[in-house]
Amino acid sequence: MSSESARKTFDCVAFEREQRGRISRMLNAMTREERIDWLRNVEITDPILRRFVERAPRGSLLRANTPAVGSDAGDP
């Protein structure tokens, strides 16, 4: 295998770090209430993450007692 064919075309680690930094900056610019609202309303598009959130006990994955996806927000 030549060094030319072994060259990366996509750096997964760099991409993950860029996305994590972008999301961290976005969340750090929000107030606590804005973050809670964002977490309650964000659409989870990753099927694995969605399955974790749906199967988790209510509120265990989200801070500030935000309800899990699909749960009744008015239920105590």
- The per-residue pLDDT for range 19-55, each reduced to its tens digit, is 999 989 998 999 999 988 887 888 888 888 788 778 8
16: pLDDT confidence band, cut at 50, 70 and 90? very high
Q: Give a yes or no: residue 76 inside a domain.
A: no
Q: Give a yes or no: residue 45 inside a domain.
A: yes
* Domain, as residue range, for 38: 12-55
Residue with tokens 């694995």: 48
**Residue 61 backbone phi and psi in degrees, to 5:** -95, -20
**Degrees, nearest 5: CA angle 49-51-18:** 5
Total number of domains in the chain: 1
Q: Model-level pTM?
A: 0.48
Give the DSSP per-residue string, 24-64: HHHHHTS-HHHHHHHHHH-----HHHHHHHHHSPTTSSSST
Q: Give a yes or no: residue 62 inside a domain.
A: no
